Amino acid sequence: MKTEGKKLYQLSLHEASSRLQDREISSVELVSSVLDRIEEVDHLIHGFITVDAEGALDQARQADRRLADSGANSPLLGIPMAIKDNICTRGVKTTCASKILGNFIPPYEATVIRRLREQGAVIIGKTNLDEFAMGASTETSHFGCTRNPWDLSRVAGGSSGGSAASVAADAAISSLGSDTGGSIRQPASFCGVVGLKPTYGRVSRFGLVAYASSLDQIGPITKDVTDCALMLEAISGYDPLDSTSVNKPAPVAHKSLINDVRGIKIGLPVEYFQTGVDREVEERVRQAISLLQELGAEVEEVSLPHTEYAVATYYILATAEASSNLARYDGVKYGFREKNFSHLVELYENTRQGGFGSEVKRRIMLGTYALSAGYYDAYYLKAQKVRTLIKRDFEEAFQKVDCLATPTSPIPAFGIGEKIDDPLQMYLLDIYTISANLAGVPAISLPCGFSSQGMPIGLQILAGHFQEDKILQVAYTFEQNTDYHKQRPKITNVPT
């Protein structure tokens, strides 16, 4: 393992863990290095909403004591991590990038945070996102847009843009995001890092502020596939506090890191390589698939015939669930409350008018309409039936192949402000990622090249339910035979 010459904040999770276990460095030194890096670059990329420097250093001192007392321990022990700011952290603000939760401090901890703390991970801060995770660019955040470290005039993707940008900029060793329709994978693709959406039910959603409960899933964003596997092991497992948690043991994901794809069958969905995909994106993805084929994988075309209905289906179901989930923000129990009102209904109306941004309001209204009397059968019920057809498409495909390979996004990262005023154009960017959420299957995005303008391009690998081992093996093999994951952006001043 070559880590000589790297600054501490540049280390991957597994590199940092090895040096901590060998007593070459301390957690305090590692955390201090990352905090210095945040100080250096975060005013440019705006990846964080909250940085808990004092708390992180205190956790680092505790980690150093554990390392001294017990020797070899969890690979996460002493590692500074960033957490998407829609995952509850007791005693630390959790805002969902919204005015309505601008000063909310949770009295309880999300299960994934509890698991990270038990293993000695250091929570260094909370990252920026699209408000309530509703967006594909982190431009809808109440606290301002996150910029892409590769080009500060471009978006970092969304909704987990802050988590992806922070890892890409070496302002966090690793991070957690959430993925409702591609919100881990798309920003990972845009920022040139690795992002994994686990199988629905693999990771507890307890403490994740809900957007669309049947679609949301927490997952890691990391510098390489090895780190992704280690994070998946740490946060997975059954949780009785989450009724959708599946009673399966946590995967021993690092055992899937095998540099070999001989005999693995990879399917190429024909619908994902038709009109709408950027020429350079398609070229890089096809080159990646050709490399996997050269390494021994078998490649064949498959069909997911209901793909064309995925975007419409998703934006009916997701907004309907959002309409229900966000009804709790009424100015009565917690969060922002509008001071000017004369009766209870006016309190509700004024609080929600002033507390929510325009995209959140749009999705609440869309969802409320889809659920309303006279339209429920025509929209919501029909969308649920189409969701079943999309799920069956994947089930049939995985009877023929072990996994699927596709672009993560049809285009590389676009300019800030370029699409924000055209919601439909923005929604269509989710075409390659949302089907995995509708079907509940796992999917990973990893860097597979760059555009002619130097922007990262992501390769997406999908497999059947609870088959994370397959996508990790394919992703790891590709990564070990390329060097895209080793490349990092050179961050310069914000363009005028």
Q: Which one from 27, 32, 33, 84 is the annotated catalytic residue?
A: 84
Long-range contacts of 5-12 (CB under 8 A, 24+ apart): 7/33, 7/37, 7/170, 8/33, 8/34, 9/33, 9/34, 9/36, 9/37, 9/170, 9/171, 9/173, 10/170, 10/488, 11/173, 12/173, 12/222, 12/223, 12/224, 12/226, 12/227
Q: Which one from 17, 74, 141, 159 is the annotated catalytic residue?
A: 159
3-state per-residue secondary structure call for 220-248: EEECCHHHHHHHHHHHECCCCCCCCCCCC
Active site residue 84: yes
Active site residue 159: yes
Active site residue 32: no
**Which residues make beta-bridge pairs with 447?**
458
Distances (CA, A) of 478 to 229, 292, 303, 486, 493: 15, 7, 24, 13, 33
Question: d(Cα 422, Cα 38) in Å, to the nearest integer?
Answer: 32
**Strand arrangement of the beta sheet that strand 218-222 belongs to:** 48-51, 122-127, 80-84, 174-178, 218-222, 194-197, 443-450, 456-463, 403-407, 265-269, 298-302
Question: d(Cα 32, Cα 40) in Å, to the nearest integer?
Answer: 12
Q: Which one from 27, 98, 163, 183 is the annotated catalytic residue?
A: 183
**Residue numbers annotated as active site:** 84, 159, 183
